[in-house]
Chain A
Amino acid sequence: MVSAEAYPDWEAVYRDNVDRVFRLMFSRVGNRADAEDLTGEVFLRALRPLRLSASVGEVRTYLVATTRTVLAEHWRRTLGREITTFDDERDVAETVPELIDARAGERAERILAALPERYAHVLRLRFLQGCSLKEAAAELGVTVANVKVLQHRAVRRAGEVAGGVET
């Protein structure tokens, strides 16, 4: 689709954008289950008022704006304040979806690179690879209780680092 053209119907809007919106949401909530719920909310909210004579570019921009709103409401509803935002959303409406993942990957690696190796290791196991506490304990050669303590300290350090990482 060229961005100056229009979509023929809502299904075309959905097919062309569901991947992009999902990955965008995933890049700010960090897990698929929440990303799915919120992607659903974006389309349910956006598609009815969507003016189909709008160009593809305008529709994508509108979907990104809706994504931002839905994300902000999600964080306010669950944790009372915005945890992640879209600070850097330049070109995101035109970006290929894979690039969204690549950028998120780089952000995670930047955080890990700033941490002591053992912290980085436990966080990689728990948050990037989705290991259970038990699996992480086995991998690290410590008890589950040790992993909990290690993870707690590691997250704290990562939080200090992540504060300076642009999202």
Chain B
Amino acid sequence: MSGVRRYIRNLVRRRTTPVTDQEAADARAAVLLGAGGSEQGAPGEEFVASLHARLRKKLEPRDQGRRRFVQVTSVAAASAAVGVAVDRLVVEAVALPDTAPSVIMPEAGEWQAVVAGRDLPEGGVHQFDLGTLTGFVERVGGQVRGVSGVCTHLGCKLSLDRTARELDCPCHHTAFAVDGRVLRHQLPIQLRPLPTLLVRESGGHVEVFVPTVAT
């Protein structure tokens, strides 16, 4: 036991409540000295691991080691849609909510141009395919924005119905709005909206942020 801890323990054991001004000043000195001493440094690995286990038990009590998707940010959601084989009609493991999510690294990735800015007029929608990421970008109120082009049910590739301005899934007659909202479906489950993508306009091009998924 360290000198400081022992000192405080002794004080706790024989104190009157509360401690006197003098005892408080002494304790303060002991603590501030200990805080500058040789016990300084990062927390021990063992402690970090055991607290991690306690937290997991508390926060994911019924998971038994399986990782849940706790929260989906736009970037995280976009990441979840990455890494799928684009040319297959059905891509697996993208939208099943209880599959283990990839390690998400929002800071890793790159901006990739999908269409020239002048080719996306106000109200326009453009489908793009970057190999690792497919989706739709649109211009609304002068601003560009985009969504993933993969159905959140089983990962089928969506197609654009220009007349109705909706994104249709060929697999189960599901339809999404271009902003990602679920318009209609015939599934006995709750369906998540399409993940939002990070989109910007730069150098005359509309660019989409393609996150890297660590494996």
Cα distance, A52 to B104, chains bound together (Å): 14
B188 at the interface (CB under 8 A from A): no
B1 → A minimal CB distance (Å): 7
B183 at the interface (CB under 8 A from A): no
A84 at the interface (CB under 8 A from B): yes
A108 at the interface (CB under 8 A from B): yes
A60 at the interface (CB under 8 A from B): no
Given contacts A34-B5, A47-B55, contact A81 B18 (CB under 8 A): yes
A-to-B contact residues, CB < 8 Å: 1-2, 5-6, 8-11, 14, 18-19, 22-23, 26-36, 39-40, 43-44, 47-48, 52-53, 78-81, 83-84, 97, 101, 104-109, 111-112, 123-124, 126-131, 155-156, 158-163, 165, 167
B141 at the interface (CB under 8 A from A): no
Extra contacts besides A123-B33, A127-B30, A159-B29 (18): CB < 8 Å: A2-B107, A5-B106, A8-B73, A8-B106, A23-B42, A23-B43, A31-B34, A31-B39, A79-B19, A79-B24, A101-B41, A108-B33, A126-B3, A155-B29, A159-B26, A162-B25, A163-B28, A165-B32
Q: Is there an interface contact between A130 and B3, defined as CB atoms closer than 8 Å?
A: yes
Cα distance, A101 to B39, chains bound together (Å): 10
Given contacts A2-B107, A8-B76, A18-B43, contact A128 B33 (CB under 8 A): yes
Cα distance, A130 to B7, chains bound together (Å): 11
Chain B residue, CB-CB nearest to A130 = B2
Cα distance, A31 to B48, chains bound together (Å): 16
Chain A residue, CB-CB nearest to B69 = A9
B16 → A minimal CB distance (Å): 8
Chain A residue, CB-CB nearest to B56 = A11
Contacts of A111 in B (CB 8 A): 29, 32-33
Contacts of B17 in A (CB 8 A): 80
Instruction: Please name 9 pairs of A and B residues whose Cβ atoms are closer than 8 Å in the assembled complex, sorted by A.
Output: A5-B107, A14-B51, A18-B51, A29-B35, A79-B12, A105-B36, A127-B30, A130-B3, A160-B25
B52 at the interface (CB under 8 A from A): yes
Chain A residue, CB-CB nearest to B79 = A8
Contacts of B19 in A (CB 8 A): 79-81
Find A43's partner among B39, B55, B73, B76 (CB 8 Å cutoff): B55
Find B35's partner among A30, A36, A163 (CB 8 Å cutoff): A30
Q: Is there an interface contact between B32 and A107, defined as CB atoms closer than 8 Å?
A: yes
Cα distance, A10 to B25, chains bound together (Å): 38
Q: Is there an interface contact between A36 and B25, defined as CB atoms closer than 8 Å?
A: no
Contacts of A48 in B (CB 8 A): 58-59
Cα distance, A123 to B3, chains bound together (Å): 10
B54 at the interface (CB under 8 A from A): yes
Contacts of B163 in A (CB 8 A): none
> Nearest 9 pairs between A and B by C-beta?
A108-B36, A80-B18, A30-B34, A128-B37, A159-B25, A158-B29, A30-B31, A22-B43, A52-B71
Q: Is there an interface contact between B58 and A26, defined as CB atoms closer than 8 Å?
A: no
Q: Is there an interface contact between A26 and B27, defined as CB atoms closer than 8 Å?
A: no
B185 at the interface (CB under 8 A from A): no
Contacts of A106 in B (CB 8 A): 36
Cα distance, A46 to B73, chains bound together (Å): 20
B193 → A minimal CB distance (Å): 15
Within 8 A of A (CB), among B51-103: 51-52, 54-55, 58-59, 70-71, 73, 75-76
B171 at the interface (CB under 8 A from A): no
Contacts of A123 in B (CB 8 A): 33
